Structure 1
């Protein structure tokens, strides 16, 4: 990339597209297993997006800014009714809050620090002068999450509206998140954020990193492709910031899908970003981030998405979310206490996950080979219960499609059985009884291919994959069971740039 020294030109280039978004995710297979290499997870990115809007605070550099060598940073979260201001040291790249409020967002804070450090590590001394001038104009960052990341079930019920997608769609975009009133004094406390399990922190971190790296001229995201090196840069910085902010090195599938979109994912070795933890201990941040960018990232990702004419649905049962870290801890404890049984269970789960992935890939290939035949089979099966699908296989080309459909459905049943078995052994509700009843009844609906608990399971929203136009039948059935069908669908795209503030659309 060519860098320019004239700050006005830099601003013109950077501000043309200063809004970036990253999607939420649904981990369809690979729950728990994806934490350990070489186990894979299949993850679908969604139309639920987190947006980051970056612009300067000032029109020109303040006369005393160079002496202070500190840049002003303002972080606004309209949905939380929060605004936090910081001072960013251009020498040490530290970020100190100067707000009266004690509310902090470590994910955004590390995203800002690491993105700026990446900019400094990629520029020579003359380009760093232009970067400093740009930073001294201040960084005004606004973050916005689509409604789909949060639960608005209480608001819908309070308004007396039915639990339907139409009721959700009637809410304004980027609706404020409800505050709890403290019992004493009636003051507003920190907002209780009821989430749907789509990975809001990963999407938010990725969006902030992407928008800043683009704004600062480190990457150009205007026309990126799946294997673009600029996306790799965003991935490395976002992955590191997210891990440090949450205090542990997770599998990273959520950040990877936020960057690249739907995929088959195998995690990176945790020691890839071990050096980044030195930054917390006071090592020079610019050197640390330079090391992260030069490290040998060994994660694996392959493009993956649902076959044509299939729809992803999510349903919120209204039983509250689950704590993923505590559930992961319980599974790890079980692995240590009973290594032989746990290893056998994981082996069978890995085989089931691979089978499901293989059957879905087979269906995608069959659709490419003869879409008209594929479409005919899918539409016919969408109106039939599974036990009648074989009746559709009136010729060999159709039989191959039906066999793959039934193979995928059978693999999902096996995966669910093993996940329940693992949960019982670990003493945690990976697929709670209430979810089991809901999923079993859903799997019997005409045109339903898959149904399960995504990721680590628990009481988060369940996922379903339907054929053809069968989604309406699922939504109607869920509504009768007090389950709210969300507006989430698969969107295989990762990071996107936008010309306008999404609130203006």
Structure 2
């Protein structure tokens, strides 16, 4: 039997930089693109097994096999994980194994761990194609940069490069990997019952399990990165789309000081009240679609963040005024998008009429049809408000970039966004997270039957197709079981084949 756990990628559509401060929140959307961890008995793979031996493969990359040996101290109650010699190292995987097994020993005991490791483990980790730029793959196949072209690529396509050389798209691959990897081990070693991660699981037991997985993944991810980040990427990987307010960094600071902390459970337990992060349910309005662009350029996010935080420290009053206004806009956007979902629930027919209309005309015309369609006023005004708010957020983000000397929304992105948002059916957009050259996001009207034949998605694809190095991603918002979840190996397209290759 294989243990298969997946976690989604993320897009921070509002709250860039502000989510670093627990005083502010962000709007994070989880994506349909996921990372998968598959844990199996080595004998089922190779026909042989070695006690206390763990092999981890990432078949999408060259030289991406890492082996580890699990050792116990003289008392047999503490565990350590040593890296075997190989062509490459993987700090994230090593720390995930070391700390997850240490937590397993604290919860289940060393004897239980030894028993489960008596045959060793074989682990495969893979990410959906969206996590990595597919532009070279499309060019090699002479395919245009469209969603239909991307859908023709094999699932979990090989990148033909080493992990260190891959071009990422900014969906939070390391956070999704760590979350699925740590949780898969917790499930495999019976710390978390697999049933509570099924989409139909009762909320109480599921929430408790997810909180443990969240706390562990946050710690391991911070440890691997060498700093305590905002954590919204891990939070999205665990809980799906939500409004996020970060945890106080002090909660894991004691663990960050020691390479092999002696007591993890006291800190990482879901019952530890010092984990003060807050999440509120959120989802995008019905019949809308988030669309992401792979720019194939990339930015040094830590450098951007460092410069913005230096500006905030030096210009406290200036920064406070701007962040306060940005926070008001971000909060208003979250409320506006939530209100649209409520309007759909109140009258689905009226809402669907409104979404069809805005799919066929530019945002500057949305309110002009109110005289002819007064019954649509609530919906049209709410969609127009969402458009206005996203534009105001962009303006404030550009202002912060100007004041801090950081390209938060570089001129190339500004033009791409302006041109895209001017198209019929585009509600709004921006640069996700810390901004820079990594990506852009758009929110589109996406009704089942638009008033005109040309869908907003097609219009954007045509515009982006005429640009250099701009390709859409297949990712949409992850809705059903939107956060971390249990999977069946054979039910995920292409997963069994890539794992067994």
1:481 aligns with 2:467: yes
| 8 Å Cα contact 2:420-2:460 kept in structure 1 | yes
Distance 1:442 1:226 in 2: 40
Q: Which of 377, 385, 397 is 1:407 aligned to?
A: 385
2:75 is aligned with 1:96: no
| 1:504 pairs with 2:475 | no
User: In the alignment, which of 303, 311, 324 is matched to residue 326 of structure 1?
Assistant: 303
Report the CA distance shift for 1:226/1:146 in structure 2 as closer, same or farther (over 3 A): farther
1:157-197 Cα deviation digits (max 9, x unpaired)? 24332222222222211111232xxxxxxxxx765110100
What is the alpha-carbon distance in structure 2 between the residues aligned to residue 446 and residue 395 of structure 1?
18
Q: Partner of 2:194 in structure 1?
A: 221
Equivalent pair of 2:54/2:68 in contact (CA under 8 Å) = yes
Q: CA deviation at 1:311?
A: 0.5
Deviation at 1:108, TM superposition (A): 1.8
State the alpha-carbon separation in 2 of the partners of residues 100 and 24 from structure 1. 29
Q: Does 1:194 align with 2:167?
A: yes
Give 1:51's match in structure 2, choosing from 14, 27, 36.
36
What's 2:97 paired with? Answer: 112
Equivalences for residues 77-226 of structure 1 within 5 A: 77-81=58-62, 82-91=64-73, 92-101=78-87, 103-123=88-108, 128-179=110-161, 191-222=164-195, 223=198, 224=201
CA drift of 1:116 comes to 1.5
Contact 1:178 1:191 (C-alpha < 8 Å) held by counterparts: no
Counterpart CA distance in 2 for 1:244 and 1:262 is: 24
Provide the C-alpha distance between the structure 1 equivalents of 2:255 and 2:318, rounded to a whole number of angstroms: 36
The CA distance in 2 between the partners of 1:226 and 1:257, in whole Å, is: 17
* Aligned mates of 2:414, 2:311 — CA distance in 1: 22
Equivalence for 2:57: 76
Unaligned runs of 5+ in 1: 1-14, 180-188
Do structure 1's residue 337 and structure 2's residue 321 form an aligned pair? no
Do 1:276 and 1:289's aligned partners in 2 also have CA atoms closer than 8 Å?
no
- Residue by residue over 1:19-38, the C-alpha shift from the partner in whole angstroms, topping out at 9 and shown as x without a partner, is 11100000010000000012
- Provide the rounded CA distance (Å) in 2 between the counterparts of 1:344 and 1:109: 43
- The Cα shift of 1:342 comes to 1.0
Which residue of the other structure, out of 263, 285, 288, is the alignment partner of 2:264?
288
**Correspondent of 1:277 among 256, 262, 279:** 256
Q: What's the TM-score, normalizing by structure 1?
A: 0.88
User: For the structure 1 residues 226 and 31, does the alpha-carbon distance in structure 2 shift closer, same or farther, using more than 3 Å as the test?
Assistant: farther
- Within 2, Cα distance between the matches of 1:431 and 1:386? 22
Mapping of residues 243-262 of structure 1, within 5 Å: 243-262=222-241
Match of residue 210 from structure 2: 231
Shift of the alpha carbon at 1:141?
1.1
Separation (CA, whole Å) in 2 of partners of 1:288 and 1:164: 46
Partner deviation per Cα, 1:252-298 (whole Å, 9 max, x = no partner) = 11001101110000000001111222431x442xx234432253210
Contact 1:50 1:146 in 2 (8 A): yes
Residue 65 of structure 2 aligns to a residue whose secondary structure is: strand
Give the distance between the partners of 2:315 and 2:485, measured in 1 at CA: 45
Give me the TM-score of the superposition, normalised by structure 2. 0.89
Q: Is the 8 A contact 1:117 1:289 kept in 2?
A: no
Classify the secondary structure of the residue corresponding to 1:80: coil
* Aligned equivalents of 1:437, 1:359: Cα separation in 2: 26
Q: Distance in 2 between matches of 1:26 and 1:177?
A: 23
- SS of the counterpart of 1:94? strand
Q: 1:365 aligns with which of 313, 319, 342?
A: 342
Q: Distance in 1 between matches of 2:445 and 2:86?
A: 53
Deviation at 1:43, TM superposition (A): 0.5
Change (3 A) 1:283 1:489: closer
Match of 1:21 in 2: 6
Aligned to 1:491: 478
For the 8 Å contact 1:435–1:459, the answer to whether it is kept is: yes
- Structure 2 alignment gaps of length 5 or more: 447-454
Name the SS of the counterpart of 2:60 in structure 1.
Answer: helix
3-state SS of paired residue (2:79): coil
**3-state secondary structure, aligned to 2:125:** strand
The match for 1:301 is 279
* Post-superposition CA distance 1:204-261 (Å, at most 9, x none): 0001011111110001232345552111111111111111111111111100110111
Q: How far apart, CA to CA, are the structure 2 residues paired with 1:360 and 1:108?
A: 37
Residue number in structure 2 paired with 1:7: none
2:395 corresponds to 1:417:
yes
Stretches (4+) displaced over 4 A = 394-397
Give, in whole Å, the separation in 1 of the partners of 2:268 and 2:35: 25
CA-to-partner distance for each residue in 1:301-347, whole Å, 9 max, x for gaps?
011010100001011234x1111111100001111221111111111
The 1-side partners of 2:176 and 2:164 are apart by: 19
**How far did 1:146 drift?**
0.6
Partners in 2 of 1:471 and 1:317 — Cα distance? 17
Worse overlay, 134-143 or 27-36: 134-143
